[in-house]
Chain A
């Protein structure tokens, strides 16, 4: 089956620093990747849709200058949390669509736990 990896799985950083999270599709090409954020005991909240070679589409209320997304290749998308603050602490999850299929199933990464001190 389709496999999506994320790196790092867990990161702790100081307030004001930037953190980059990588999302890779390992055995398929993904023209579209998605970034979600999940707070404890809550559902996944879509942050942005990342399309290879073009600018990401951000959901309402998500600051595009704070959450920088780059989808430079068909197998890699990155999310950079700039000037992180404690309220950015969350579980960040990416997903990818396999461009070979006409369906909309998504394959999710294992998530990245970000803690901002």
Chain B
């Protein structure tokens, strides 16, 4: 799996958009970008994934740069419940295992 780099922590004001960056400069052509989050003492939660096009679902938007070397997860209107550790992972389809890095601790403040 390609290695990803994320800032260790970020703050965001409640109601504002949270933009979480991820660098994956060694990503291969067949690797997808996946985002998960983990709220304290719970199992991780799948958020979104993409290959090269931008993606949006009910939870978030994923913006992938044209060269695919980085991406940004956007939570459009952050709430206090979005406080969590966010993990960016790159992995091929049907690859099996995924390697978790250290993630970004997002703190949403009132």
Report which A residues bind B (CB closer than 8 A).
Answer: 4, 6, 32, 34, 36, 43-46, 49, 91, 93, 95, 102-111, 113
Contact = CB atoms under 8 A, between A and B. Distances in A.
A103 B42 CA distance: 23
Contact of B45 (A32, A43, A91, A108): A108
10 contacts: A34-B97, A46-B100, A95-B44, A102-B94, A104-B94, A104-B96, A106-B44, A108-B44, A108-B45, A109-B43
Contacts of B100: 36, 43-46
A104 B43 CA distance: 17
Chain B interface extent, by class: 20 to 34
Contacts, number: 62
A95 B89 CA distance: 15
A49 B43 contact: no
The A interface, classified by DSSP as helix, strand, loop or mixed, is: strand
Contacts of A45: 100
Given A43-B101, A43-B103, A49-B97, A103 B49 contact: yes
Given A43-B102, A104-B34, A49 B96 contact: yes
Nearest to B49: A105
B61 interface: no
Interface in B77-110: 87, 91-103
- Which are the 6 A-B pairs with shortest beta-carbon distances? A108-B43, A44-B100, A108-B44, A43-B100, A111-B43, A110-B43
Contact of B46 (A43, A105, A113): A105
A104 B34 CA distance: 8
A45 B93 CA distance: 20
B8 to A, nearest CB: 11
